[in-house]
Structure 1
Amino acid sequence: MGCGCSLGIRGIVLAAGLLGSGIRLGDFARNIAIWSVIILGLVAGYQYRYDLQDAASRITAGLIPGNPISGMNADGTLTVTLAKSANGHFEVNGRVNGARVHFLVDTGASSVVLSQEDAERAGIDTASLNYSVPIMTANGQARAASITIATLQIGDIERHDVRAMVTKEGLLTGSLLGMNFLQTLGGFTVRGDQLILIN
């Protein structure tokens, strides 16, 4: 009973203080409600941060084709999400030696393959390369040059000293992100229209 009286007295003192300060109870109640909603929103946002991050990634990837979306999964591992392009393939804008290169993700390619144009943009002297490695393309057998890429970056995933091939001019319309890069990852998975690379 003593505890109930103490709480009652505190409530009366609080109410008297509010009334005496000139604050209207309606304004006070509205402010309490607004702050309660803000605090609940922050707690919910923190609780569902990974789901919200996935949703934001899907929206951004849909608006900017080929744009890699870096994030974290539930255990804090770095991920990069790629959206399927209109042609049904996974494509991504990456960087080779700091230069922007558009890749087609190709699990059928054993190696990263750069078109001659992309290799030149990345600072590789294609005129001095030895095009002696036989490769199979959609148009049949061709020859490519073996190189080492100093830096290959897809989103926030970065690899150094990556073996790659360079094709002669006109052989490829774009570059391929092959298995020798994908095998350096912790894994990759397809979820609907998304390819998720796990560092």
Structure 2
Amino acid sequence: MSEFPHTLKIVTVWMVVGLLIFLGFKVHEHRQQRTRFEADGEVVTLRRAADGHYHWPGTINGVPVDFLVDTGATGTALPAGLARAARLETGGTVTSSTAGGLATGTLATADLELQGGVRASRLRVVVLPGLDGALLGMDVLGRLRISQQGDTLTIDLRDQR
């Protein structure tokens, strides 16, 4: 085998360049993800994500979750797939008013833990089949002292209610 054909060389070079660009974006995304959340034991700091929302990492019954902080939601809501993964027992139908209109879901009870030390045991949650991601509502957020300045949301954990 003497040499690769010229076209194959060009395709290979472009594939390597594309791969390097992709990996660069992934590294950048990972760094942003890491710096969106900070906790020091007394204060949790969340920075607005690229999607314009605040996200708080945590778990539901030990299953990792990236909660979207939703101060407009009365309660915490979970997608049906997450409820299944967390092995939540659902029962009782409920109709919820969402940004997209009325949605029918079921009630469940879950143990919620947020990074930084916030816990809610046997929290009543709503499971909505059409929901894209977990929403952290005022049933949890209302127990905390929250302040917002610019693109930073600060949660003071010293006086959890």
Counterpart code for 2:46: L
RMSD of aligned C-alpha atoms? 2.1
Task: Please identify runs of 4+ aligned residues in structure 1 that moved more than 4 A.
Answer: none
Partner of 1:161: 122
Seen in structure 2, the aligned counterparts of structure 1 residues 69 and 92 have a Cα distance that, compared at 3 Å, is: same
More strand by share: 2
- AA aligned to 1:119 is A
Structure 1: distance between partners of 2:71 and 2:150: 17
Q: Distance in 1 between matches of 2:135 and 2:122?
A: 17
Inter-CA distance 147–190: structure 2 relative to 1 (3 Å threshold): same
Structure 1: distance between partners of 2:78 and 2:135: 6
Matched, 1:189 2:147: yes
Structure 1, gaps ≥5 residues long? 1-60, 73-77
Matched-pair identity in %: 31
Equivalent position SS for 1:124: coil
Question: How far apart are the structure 2 equivalents of 1:123 and 1:130?
Answer: 13
How far apart are residue 163 of structure 1 and its match? 1.7
As a proportion of its length, which structure holds more helix?
Answer: 1
The match for 1:173 among 132, 139, 149 is 132
State the one-letter code of the partner of 2:105: A
The one-character-per-residue Cα deviations of 1:134-156 (angstroms, maximum 9, x if unpaired) are 10122211112122212332332
Q: Tell me how far 1:67 sits from its aligned partner.
A: 5.1
What is the CA–CA distance in structure 2 between the aligned matches of 1:176 and 1:66, rounded to whole Å? 21
- The one-letter code matched in structure 1 to 2:37 is P
1:68 corresponds, among 34, 37, 41, to 37
TM-score (norm 1): 0.58
Quick one: distance in 2 between partners of 1:87 and 1:159?
27
Is the partner of 2:140 in helix, strand or coil?
Answer: helix
- Larger RCO: Structure 1 or Structure 2 (Cα < 8 Å, ≥ 6 residues apart)? 2
- Secondary structure at 1:130's aligned position in 2? strand
Distance 1:175 1:66 in 2: 21
In structure 2, the residue matched to 1:86 is 50
Distance in 1, Cα, partners of 2:128 & 2:111: 18
SS in 2 for 1:132: strand
Taking the aligned partners of 1:147 and 1:164, their CA distance within structure 2 comes to: 5
Provide the secondary structure at the position in 1 that maps to 2:40: strand
* TM-score of the superposed pair, with normalisation by structure 2: 0.70
**Count of aligned pairs:** 128
